[in-house]
Amino acid sequence: MSYHVNEKGYYGQFGGAFIPEMLYPNVEELRQNYLKVMAEPDFKKEFDQLLKDYVGRPTPLYFAKRMSKKYNTNIYLKREDLCHTGAHKINNTIGQILMAKRLKKTRIIAETGAGQHGVATATVCALAGLECIVYMGEIDIARQAPNVARMKMLGAEVRPALSGSRTLKDATNEAIRDWINNPIDTHYIIGSAVGPHPYPDMVARFQSVVSEEIKWQLKEVEGRENPDYVVACVGGGSNAAGAYYHYLNEPDVKLIAVEAAGKGIYTGESAATSVLGKEGVIHGSKTLLMQTNDGQITEPYSISAGLDYPGVGPMHAHLYETKRAEFISVTDDEAMIAGLELSQLEGIIPAIETSHALAIFEDKKFKPEDVVVISLSGRGDKDLNTYIDYFKL
Protein backbone atom coordinates (compact mmCIF):
# COMPACT_ATOMS: atom_id res chain seq x y z
CA MET A 1 0.00 0.00 0.00
CA SER A 2 1.22 3.50 -0.74
CA TYR A 3 0.61 6.31 1.68
CA HIS A 4 1.31 8.94 -0.95
CA VAL A 5 -1.28 10.59 -3.11
CA ASN A 6 -2.45 8.70 -6.20
CA GLU A 7 -2.72 10.18 -9.69
CA LYS A 8 -6.34 11.19 -9.09
CA GLY A 9 -5.48 13.16 -5.98
CA TYR A 10 -6.61 10.66 -3.36
CA TYR A 11 -5.06 9.01 -0.32
CA GLY A 12 -7.17 5.85 -0.16
CA GLN A 13 -10.73 7.19 0.02
CA PHE A 14 -9.63 10.64 1.20
CA GLY A 15 -8.61 13.75 -0.73
CA GLY A 16 -9.84 14.84 -4.14
CA ALA A 17 -10.87 18.34 -5.12
CA PHE A 18 -14.43 19.17 -4.03
CA ILE A 19 -14.44 22.74 -5.16
CA PRO A 20 -16.96 25.10 -6.71
CA GLU A 21 -16.53 25.52 -10.45
CA MET A 22 -15.31 29.08 -9.81
CA LEU A 23 -12.11 27.63 -8.35
CA TYR A 24 -11.58 24.97 -10.97
CA PRO A 25 -9.28 26.93 -13.32
CA ASN A 26 -6.98 28.02 -10.46
CA VAL A 27 -6.72 24.60 -8.90
CA GLU A 28 -6.39 22.89 -12.28
CA GLU A 29 -3.58 25.22 -13.33
CA LEU A 30 -1.74 24.31 -10.17
CA ARG A 31 -2.44 20.62 -10.54
CA GLN A 32 -1.07 20.57 -14.06
CA ASN A 33 2.06 22.47 -13.15
CA TYR A 34 3.18 21.78 -9.61
CA LEU A 35 5.19 18.61 -10.20
CA LYS A 36 6.69 19.95 -13.40
CA VAL A 37 7.76 23.20 -11.74
CA MET A 38 9.13 21.43 -8.67
CA ALA A 39 11.25 19.19 -10.90
CA GLU A 40 12.85 22.08 -12.79
CA PRO A 41 16.56 22.31 -11.90
CA ASP A 42 16.48 26.10 -11.46
CA PHE A 43 13.46 25.85 -9.19
CA LYS A 44 15.19 23.24 -7.04
CA LYS A 45 18.33 25.29 -6.94
CA GLU A 46 16.53 28.44 -5.85
CA PHE A 47 14.42 26.56 -3.30
CA ASP A 48 17.42 24.78 -1.76
CA GLN A 49 19.47 27.96 -1.70
CA LEU A 50 16.76 29.89 0.14
CA LEU A 51 16.18 27.06 2.60
CA LYS A 52 19.89 27.14 3.38
CA ASP A 53 20.73 30.85 3.42
CA TYR A 54 17.40 32.38 4.37
CA VAL A 55 15.56 29.81 6.47
CA GLY A 56 18.73 28.47 8.06
CA ARG A 57 18.53 24.82 7.05
CA PRO A 58 19.47 22.17 7.84
CA THR A 59 17.91 22.56 11.26
CA PRO A 60 19.68 20.56 13.98
CA LEU A 61 18.61 17.13 15.10
CA TYR A 62 19.27 17.53 18.79
CA PHE A 63 19.64 14.66 21.27
CA ALA A 64 17.59 15.73 24.29
CA LYS A 65 19.75 14.24 26.99
CA ARG A 66 17.89 15.15 30.14
CA MET A 67 14.48 14.42 28.67
CA SER A 68 15.77 11.07 27.39
CA LYS A 69 17.03 10.25 30.84
CA LYS A 70 13.75 11.16 32.47
CA TYR A 71 11.72 8.95 30.15
CA ASN A 72 14.39 6.26 29.84
CA THR A 73 14.59 6.24 26.06
CA ASN A 74 16.43 8.14 23.29
CA ILE A 75 14.68 11.34 22.31
CA TYR A 76 15.80 13.50 19.40
CA LEU A 77 14.25 16.89 18.69
CA LYS A 78 14.07 18.07 15.10
CA ARG A 79 14.58 21.77 15.66
CA GLU A 80 12.12 23.41 13.24
CA ASP A 81 11.70 26.08 15.90
CA LEU A 82 15.07 27.39 14.76
CA CYS A 83 13.82 28.16 11.26
CA HIS A 84 13.57 31.82 10.30
CA THR A 85 10.17 33.10 11.57
CA GLY A 86 10.13 30.44 14.28
CA ALA A 87 8.39 27.41 12.81
CA HIS A 88 8.38 24.86 9.99
CA LYS A 89 5.73 26.88 8.15
CA ILE A 90 8.34 28.79 6.14
CA ASN A 91 9.55 25.67 4.30
CA ASN A 92 6.21 25.58 2.52
CA THR A 93 5.80 29.31 1.95
CA ILE A 94 9.23 29.54 0.34
CA GLY A 95 8.25 26.74 -2.02
CA GLN A 96 4.86 28.21 -2.81
CA ILE A 97 6.09 31.74 -3.42
CA LEU A 98 8.57 30.40 -5.97
CA MET A 99 5.72 28.42 -7.49
CA ALA A 100 3.50 31.52 -7.61
CA LYS A 101 6.22 33.49 -9.38
CA ARG A 102 6.64 30.81 -12.00
CA LEU A 103 2.88 30.80 -12.54
CA LYS A 104 3.13 34.60 -13.00
CA LYS A 105 0.90 35.45 -10.06
CA THR A 106 1.18 38.94 -8.61
CA ARG A 107 -1.06 38.78 -5.57
CA ILE A 108 -0.81 36.37 -2.65
CA ILE A 109 -3.48 35.39 -0.16
CA ALA A 110 -3.24 33.14 2.87
CA GLU A 111 -5.17 32.04 5.93
CA THR A 112 -3.71 31.82 9.37
CA GLY A 113 -4.73 30.58 12.81
CA ALA A 114 -1.94 31.23 15.29
CA GLY A 115 -0.37 33.63 12.84
CA GLN A 116 2.70 31.48 12.14
CA HIS A 117 1.69 30.69 8.60
CA GLY A 118 0.57 34.29 8.12
CA VAL A 119 3.97 35.55 9.24
CA ALA A 120 5.74 32.98 7.06
CA THR A 121 3.64 34.09 4.08
CA ALA A 122 4.12 37.81 4.75
CA THR A 123 7.86 37.12 5.02
CA VAL A 124 8.19 35.43 1.64
CA CYS A 125 5.97 38.07 0.02
CA ALA A 126 8.34 40.74 1.29
CA LEU A 127 11.20 38.65 -0.06
CA ALA A 128 9.55 38.35 -3.47
CA GLY A 129 8.06 41.84 -3.57
CA LEU A 130 4.47 40.60 -3.95
CA GLU A 131 1.24 41.96 -2.51
CA CYS A 132 0.10 39.93 0.50
CA ILE A 133 -3.30 39.61 2.14
CA VAL A 134 -3.72 37.36 5.16
CA TYR A 135 -7.13 36.29 6.44
CA MET A 136 -7.29 35.69 10.15
CA GLY A 137 -10.24 35.01 12.44
CA GLU A 138 -11.26 37.99 14.51
CA ILE A 139 -10.79 35.96 17.69
CA ASP A 140 -7.30 34.86 16.67
CA ILE A 141 -6.36 38.44 15.83
CA ALA A 142 -7.14 39.32 19.43
CA ARG A 143 -5.25 36.38 20.98
CA GLN A 144 -2.19 36.52 18.68
CA ALA A 145 -1.49 40.25 18.64
CA PRO A 146 2.32 40.03 18.27
CA ASN A 147 2.00 37.98 15.09
CA VAL A 148 -0.54 40.44 13.68
CA ALA A 149 2.00 43.22 14.28
CA ARG A 150 4.74 41.16 12.63
CA MET A 151 2.65 40.63 9.51
CA LYS A 152 1.91 44.35 9.31
CA MET A 153 5.59 45.22 9.69
CA LEU A 154 6.34 42.83 6.86
CA GLY A 155 3.96 44.78 4.66
CA ALA A 156 1.00 42.42 4.64
CA GLU A 157 -2.63 43.41 5.01
CA VAL A 158 -4.41 41.40 7.73
CA ARG A 159 -8.12 41.03 7.03
CA PRO A 160 -10.35 39.81 9.85
CA ALA A 161 -12.63 36.83 9.18
CA LEU A 162 -15.90 37.83 10.80
CA SER A 163 -18.05 34.83 9.91
CA GLY A 164 -18.75 31.64 11.88
CA SER A 165 -16.49 30.95 14.84
CA ARG A 166 -14.05 33.65 13.65
CA THR A 167 -11.05 31.30 13.87
CA LEU A 168 -8.91 29.28 11.44
CA LYS A 169 -11.78 27.50 9.68
CA ASP A 170 -13.45 30.80 8.89
CA ALA A 171 -10.20 32.46 7.85
CA THR A 172 -9.81 29.59 5.36
CA ASN A 173 -13.36 30.15 4.08
CA GLU A 174 -12.61 33.84 3.55
CA ALA A 175 -9.36 33.11 1.74
CA ILE A 176 -11.17 30.70 -0.57
CA ARG A 177 -13.85 33.34 -1.24
CA ASP A 178 -11.14 35.86 -2.05
CA TRP A 179 -9.65 33.38 -4.52
CA ILE A 180 -13.05 32.90 -6.16
CA ASN A 181 -13.28 36.67 -6.59
CA ASN A 182 -9.71 36.98 -7.94
CA PRO A 183 -9.19 34.00 -10.21
CA ILE A 184 -6.50 35.32 -12.55
CA ASP A 185 -3.70 37.11 -10.71
CA THR A 186 -3.88 35.51 -7.28
CA HIS A 187 -2.15 32.51 -5.73
CA TYR A 188 -3.51 31.08 -2.50
CA ILE A 189 -0.73 29.83 -0.21
CA ILE A 190 -2.43 27.23 1.97
CA GLY A 191 -0.37 26.63 5.09
CA SER A 192 -1.45 23.18 6.09
CA ALA A 193 -1.68 19.80 4.39
CA VAL A 194 -5.36 20.44 3.68
CA GLY A 195 -7.46 21.78 0.82
CA PRO A 196 -8.21 20.44 -2.65
CA HIS A 197 -5.67 18.31 -4.50
CA PRO A 198 -2.84 19.18 -5.24
CA TYR A 199 -2.46 21.24 -2.06
CA PRO A 200 -2.01 18.45 0.49
CA ASP A 201 0.61 16.79 -1.70
CA MET A 202 2.35 20.03 -2.63
CA VAL A 203 2.56 21.19 1.00
CA ALA A 204 3.81 17.74 2.08
CA ARG A 205 6.51 17.82 -0.59
CA PHE A 206 7.72 21.27 0.43
CA GLN A 207 7.77 20.14 4.05
CA SER A 208 9.44 16.81 3.23
CA VAL A 209 12.84 18.44 3.67
CA VAL A 210 12.30 17.78 7.38
CA SER A 211 12.35 13.98 7.12
CA GLU A 212 14.98 14.13 4.38
CA GLU A 213 17.30 15.81 6.88
CA ILE A 214 16.32 13.52 9.76
CA LYS A 215 17.45 10.55 7.66
CA TRP A 216 21.02 11.67 7.11
CA GLN A 217 21.32 13.36 10.48
CA LEU A 218 20.25 10.23 12.32
CA LYS A 219 22.61 8.15 10.18
CA GLU A 220 25.47 10.34 11.39
CA VAL A 221 24.71 9.93 15.08
CA GLU A 222 22.98 6.57 15.36
CA GLY A 223 24.36 4.81 12.31
CA ARG A 224 20.88 4.26 10.89
CA GLU A 225 18.47 6.39 8.89
CA ASN A 226 15.30 5.06 10.45
CA PRO A 227 14.22 5.87 13.98
CA ASP A 228 11.77 3.60 15.78
CA TYR A 229 9.25 6.42 16.11
CA VAL A 230 8.49 9.77 14.54
CA VAL A 231 6.19 11.94 16.65
CA ALA A 232 4.44 15.12 15.50
CA CYS A 233 1.45 17.22 16.49
CA VAL A 234 -1.41 17.38 13.99
CA GLY A 235 -3.84 20.19 13.39
CA GLY A 236 -4.23 20.29 9.63
CA GLY A 237 -1.01 18.30 9.51
CA SER A 238 1.79 20.12 7.71
CA ASN A 239 4.62 19.52 10.15
CA ALA A 240 3.61 15.90 10.58
CA ALA A 241 3.46 15.49 6.79
CA GLY A 242 7.02 16.79 6.55
CA ALA A 243 8.37 14.70 9.42
CA TYR A 244 6.69 11.52 8.14
CA TYR A 245 7.16 12.01 4.42
CA HIS A 246 10.27 9.92 3.71
CA TYR A 247 9.19 7.32 6.28
CA LEU A 248 5.66 6.77 5.03
CA ASN A 249 6.55 3.61 3.15
CA GLU A 250 9.08 2.37 5.75
CA PRO A 251 7.01 0.04 7.92
CA ASP A 252 9.69 -0.31 10.63
CA VAL A 253 9.28 3.38 11.47
CA LYS A 254 6.22 3.88 13.66
CA LEU A 255 4.39 7.15 13.23
CA ILE A 256 2.64 8.92 16.09
CA ALA A 257 0.22 11.79 15.45
CA VAL A 258 -0.76 13.90 18.43
CA GLU A 259 -4.05 15.77 18.34
CA ALA A 260 -5.46 18.43 20.63
CA ALA A 261 -8.05 17.05 23.04
CA GLY A 262 -8.73 20.56 24.31
CA LYS A 263 -10.49 20.34 27.67
CA GLY A 264 -11.02 16.60 27.17
CA ILE A 265 -12.11 14.60 24.15
CA TYR A 266 -15.77 14.34 25.12
CA THR A 267 -16.24 17.73 26.77
CA GLY A 268 -17.52 19.38 23.62
CA GLU A 269 -14.41 21.55 23.66
CA SER A 270 -11.90 19.54 21.70
CA ALA A 271 -10.16 19.29 18.35
CA ALA A 272 -9.44 15.54 18.40
CA THR A 273 -10.62 14.92 14.86
CA SER A 274 -9.58 11.27 14.61
CA VAL A 275 -11.85 10.37 17.53
CA LEU A 276 -14.66 12.85 17.00
CA GLY A 277 -14.61 13.19 13.23
CA LYS A 278 -16.40 11.38 10.46
CA GLU A 279 -15.73 11.30 6.74
CA GLY A 280 -16.89 14.47 5.06
CA VAL A 281 -15.90 17.37 2.85
CA ILE A 282 -14.21 20.48 4.21
CA HIS A 283 -12.24 23.14 2.35
CA GLY A 284 -12.20 21.16 -0.84
CA SER A 285 -11.17 17.71 0.26
CA LYS A 286 -12.80 14.58 1.55
CA THR A 287 -11.31 13.79 4.91
CA LEU A 288 -12.16 13.22 8.57
CA LEU A 289 -13.90 16.18 10.09
CA MET A 290 -15.90 17.13 13.14
CA GLN A 291 -19.52 17.64 12.22
CA THR A 292 -23.10 17.19 13.36
CA ASN A 293 -25.23 14.26 12.21
CA ASP A 294 -26.73 16.71 9.74
CA GLY A 295 -23.35 17.41 8.15
CA GLN A 296 -22.77 20.87 9.60
CA ILE A 297 -19.15 21.48 10.52
CA THR A 298 -18.75 21.96 14.27
CA GLU A 299 -16.55 24.40 16.14
CA PRO A 300 -13.36 22.89 17.46
CA TYR A 301 -11.53 24.04 20.55
CA SER A 302 -7.90 23.94 21.60
CA ILE A 303 -5.75 26.21 23.72
CA SER A 304 -3.41 26.18 20.74
CA ALA A 305 -4.67 28.29 17.83
CA GLY A 306 -2.67 26.19 15.38
CA LEU A 307 -4.48 22.96 16.30
CA ASP A 308 -7.90 24.60 16.55
CA TYR A 309 -9.22 23.10 13.31
CA PRO A 310 -12.20 20.75 12.84
CA GLY A 311 -10.54 18.61 10.18
CA VAL A 312 -7.27 16.91 9.42
CA GLY A 313 -5.44 16.64 6.10
CA PRO A 314 -6.48 13.75 3.82
CA MET A 315 -3.03 12.14 4.10
CA HIS A 316 -3.47 11.91 7.85
CA ALA A 317 -7.06 10.70 7.59
CA HIS A 318 -5.68 7.85 5.49
CA LEU A 319 -2.85 7.17 7.95
CA TYR A 320 -5.48 6.94 10.68
CA GLU A 321 -7.89 4.77 8.74
CA THR A 322 -5.18 2.31 7.70
CA LYS A 323 -3.63 2.38 11.20
CA ARG A 324 -0.29 3.34 9.65
CA ALA A 325 -0.06 6.06 12.29
CA GLU A 326 -1.09 5.86 15.91
CA PHE A 327 -3.23 8.83 16.96
CA ILE A 328 -3.00 10.10 20.52
CA SER A 329 -4.92 13.05 21.96
CA VAL A 330 -3.50 15.38 24.55
CA THR A 331 -5.44 17.90 26.64
CA ASP A 332 -4.64 21.58 27.11
CA ASP A 333 -3.35 20.89 30.62
CA GLU A 334 -1.10 18.02 29.57
CA ALA A 335 0.35 20.09 26.74
CA MET A 336 1.01 23.13 28.93
CA ILE A 337 2.82 21.02 31.51
CA ALA A 338 4.91 19.35 28.81
CA GLY A 339 5.82 22.76 27.40
CA LEU A 340 7.04 23.93 30.78
CA GLU A 341 8.91 20.69 31.27
CA LEU A 342 10.84 21.00 28.00
CA SER A 343 11.71 24.57 28.89
CA GLN A 344 13.21 23.47 32.20
CA LEU A 345 14.81 20.21 31.10
CA GLU A 346 16.31 21.35 27.81
CA GLY A 347 16.15 25.14 27.78
CA ILE A 348 13.78 25.22 24.83
CA ILE A 349 10.41 27.00 25.05
CA PRO A 350 8.16 25.25 22.51
CA ALA A 351 5.06 26.49 20.71
CA ILE A 352 1.93 25.15 22.41
CA GLU A 353 1.15 23.15 19.26
CA THR A 354 4.47 21.36 19.68
CA SER A 355 3.91 20.93 23.40
CA HIS A 356 1.13 18.50 22.54
CA ALA A 357 3.66 16.19 20.85
CA LEU A 358 5.93 16.43 23.89
CA ALA A 359 3.14 15.40 26.26
CA ILE A 360 2.81 11.78 25.18
CA PHE A 361 5.63 10.49 27.37
CA GLU A 362 3.55 10.40 30.54
CA ASP A 363 1.32 7.67 29.12
CA LYS A 364 3.09 6.19 26.14
CA LYS A 365 6.09 4.14 27.20
CA PHE A 366 9.15 3.55 25.04
CA LYS A 367 11.95 1.01 25.37
CA PRO A 368 15.36 2.16 26.60
CA GLU A 369 16.89 1.32 23.22
CA ASP A 370 14.17 3.05 21.15
CA VAL A 371 15.07 6.06 19.06
CA VAL A 372 12.21 8.58 19.11
CA VAL A 373 12.32 11.65 16.88
CA ILE A 374 9.94 14.48 17.76
CA SER A 375 9.17 17.25 15.34
CA LEU A 376 9.77 20.39 17.39
CA SER A 377 7.64 22.33 14.96
CA GLY A 378 7.78 25.82 16.44
CA ARG A 379 9.06 28.02 19.21
CA GLY A 380 6.98 29.44 22.00
CA ASP A 381 7.59 33.17 21.76
CA LYS A 382 4.17 33.73 20.18
CA ASP A 383 2.55 31.82 23.07
CA LEU A 384 4.19 33.65 25.91
CA ASN A 385 0.96 35.38 26.92
CA THR A 386 -0.86 32.06 27.08
CA TYR A 387 1.95 30.54 29.16
CA ILE A 388 1.94 33.62 31.43
CA ASP A 389 -1.82 33.38 32.00
CA TYR A 390 -1.74 29.64 32.52
CA PHE A 391 1.19 29.42 34.93
CA LYS A 392 0.67 32.87 36.49
CA LEU A 393 4.28 33.69 35.60
Q: Which residues carry out catalysis?
A: 89, 111, 377
Interface pick for other proteins out of 176, 352, 359, 374 (rule CB under 8 A): 176
* Per CB under 8 A, 268 contacts other proteins: no
What sections of 233-383 are H helices per DSSP?
Answer: 238-244, 273-276, 314-321, 332-346, 352-358
- Which residues are CB-neighbours of 21 under 8 A, at least 6 positions away? none
> Contacts with other proteins: how many residues (CB under 8 A)?
34
Kindly indicate which of the ranges 11-19, 58-66, 123-131, 364-372 contains the residues binding other proteins, using the contact rule CB under 8 A: 11-19
CA distance 254 to 328: 13
Give backbone dihedrals phi and psi of 134, rounded to 5 degrees, phi first: -115, 125
Interface pick for other proteins out of 150, 169, 316, 318 (rule CB under 8 A): 169
Kindly indicate which of the ranges 47-55, 111-119, 140-148, 180-188 contains the residues binding other proteins, using the contact rule CB under 8 A: 180-188
- Bridge partners (DSSP) of residue 133 are 109, 157
DSSP letter assigned to residue 136: E
- Which residues are CB-neighbours of 188 under 8 A, at least 6 positions away? 26, 108, 109, 110, 175, 176, 178, 179
The b/e string for 309-321 (b: 16+ C-beta within 10 A; e otherwise) is bbbbbbbbbbbbb
Are 148 and 115 within 8 A, CB to CB?
Answer: yes
Interface pick for other proteins out of 252, 294, 363, 369 (rule CB under 8 A): 294
Q: Are strands 74-79 and 61-63 parallel, antiparallel or unpaired?
A: antiparallel
For other proteins, the closer of residues 287 and 386 by Cβ is 287
Interface pick for other proteins out of 181, 252, 369, 392 (rule CB under 8 A): 181
**Closest CB 170 distance from other proteins, rounded Å:** 8
Residue list 274-293, contact with other proteins (CB under 8 A): 278-284, 291, 293
3-class secondary structure, 323: coil
DSSP letter assigned to residue 41: H
Kindly indicate which of the ranges 178-186, 187-195, 229-237, 334-342 contains the residues binding other proteins, using the contact rule CB under 8 A: 178-186
**Closest CB 293 distance from other proteins, rounded Å:** 7
Contact flags string 21-60 toward other proteins, x per CB under 8 A? xx-xx-----------------------------------
200 CB-contact burial (10 Å; exposed 0-12 / middle 13-18 / buried 19+) = buried
Interface pick for other proteins out of 182, 254, 326, 387 (rule CB under 8 A): 182
**Closest CB 35 distance from other proteins, rounded Å:** 20
* Per CB under 8 A, 296 contacts other proteins: yes
Query: Which residues contribute to the site for other proteins (CB under 8 A)?
Result: 16-22, 24-25, 163-164, 169, 173, 176-177, 180-184, 278-284, 291, 293-298
